């Protein structure tokens, strides 16, 4: 795809497939569930054209990355996956030592832990959650997805949207690519990330109360279902998020930037006069 190169690197005891393009400072793109490096195909091209080296791996259990026993969910903890990424950074950036990191969905969760465990390897972090995080090859199935189209989160009576409507988001070529990869691997690897959630809580107990001290930007859609869960907006807007991530620069939503240092009164006045 337009000059994107592919190779496999041995990292942390597994064989990790990566896609990359460009020269310059490295941006590491980390995908979510159930996605692949391919989810970042457009961003890879844009980053490369902007003077960066874009690198997007298939995480353990996904796509062309092999060497992990899919029948053992204990091999899919955040410690394992962050270990993969640290070893990958060692391999692709032996001189610069640090990289920019962009994470989406489960990839966002993993990059939070990367910044918590090894902030020395991350120059800055960008996190992204779209309105529909589950954008994938399932469009071929007859499943139906209930989502809110009016922006009030789970409280609305959901509209029923057939996944085939994702043709507005994914081309047939895109769907074919995802379908072919998941036909080969199945979804077990990706689901193992969820199976390991309780184990993650146990293993990360030593970091309870720790803060993420990496320069961070957070991008969220105003209609994102998770963003509209009760309490989430308040946590982001009223200082809780900033407390846990002191170097959080801003939250970007619906094309509008919201500086985190701005008090609620100032934000309210700004909305009144905008």
Segment 42-100, tens digit of pLDDT: 999 999 999 999 999 999 999 999 999 999 999 999 999 999 999 999 999 988 789 99
**Residue 168, pLDDT score:** 55
Decide which of 96 and 197 is more confident: 197
Segment 94-125, tens digit of pLDDT: 887 899 999 998 999 999 999 999 999 999 99
The residues spanned by each domain of the chain are: 5-134+186-252
In words, the CATH class of domain 5-134+186-252 is alpha beta
Tell me how long the chain is: 274
Q: Are strands 53-57 and 14-21 parallel, antiparallel or unpaired?
A: antiparallel
CA–CA gap between residue 69 and residue 152 (Å, rounded): 41
**Residue 142, pLDDT score:** 30
Segment 223-262, tens digit of pLDDT: 777 788 888 888 888 888 899 999 998 777 644 444 444 4
CA–CA gap between residue 51 and residue 196 (Å, rounded): 38
Q: How far is CA 91 from the centre of its chain?
A: 21
**Residue 253, pLDDT score:** 65
pTM of the complete model beyond 0.85 = no
Segment 127-178, tens digit of pLDDT: 886 323 335 333 333 333 333 334 444 344 333 334 444 445 778 888 889 9
């Amino acid at each position: 795809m337009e000059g994107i190169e592919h190779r496999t690197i041995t990292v942390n005891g597994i064989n990790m497939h990566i896609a990359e393009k460009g020269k310059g400072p490295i941006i590491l793109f980390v995908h979510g569930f159930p996605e692949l490096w391919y989810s970042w195909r457009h961003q890879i091209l844009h980053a490369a054209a902007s003077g960066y080296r874009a690198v997007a791996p298939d995480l353990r259990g996904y796509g062309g990355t092999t060497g992990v026993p899919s029948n053992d969910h204990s091999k899919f903890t955040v410690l394992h996956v962050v270990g993969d990424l640290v070893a990958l950074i060692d391999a692709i950036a032996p001189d610069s030592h640090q990289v920019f990191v962009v994470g989406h969905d489960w990839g966002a969760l993993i990059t939070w832990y990367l910044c918590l465990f090894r902030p020395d390897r991350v120059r800055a972090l960008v996190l992204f959650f779209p309105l529909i995080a589950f954008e994938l090859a399932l469009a071929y199935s007859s499943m139906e997805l209930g989502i809110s189209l009016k922006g009030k989160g789970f409280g609305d009576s959901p509209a029923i949207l057939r996944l085939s409507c994702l043709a507005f988001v994914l081309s047939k070529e895109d769907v074919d690519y995802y379908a072919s990869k998941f036909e080969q691997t199945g979804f077990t690897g990706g689901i193992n990330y969820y199976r390991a959630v309780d184990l993650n809580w146990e293993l990360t107990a030593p970091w309870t109360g720790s803060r993420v001290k990496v320069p961070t930007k957070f991008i969220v859609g105003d209609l994102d279902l998770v963003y509209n869960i009760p309490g989430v907006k308040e946590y982001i807007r009223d200082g809780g998020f900033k407390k846990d991530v002191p170097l959080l620069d801003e939250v970007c939503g619906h094309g509008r930037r919201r500086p985190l240092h701005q008090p609620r009164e100032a934000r309210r006045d700004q909305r009144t006069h905008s």
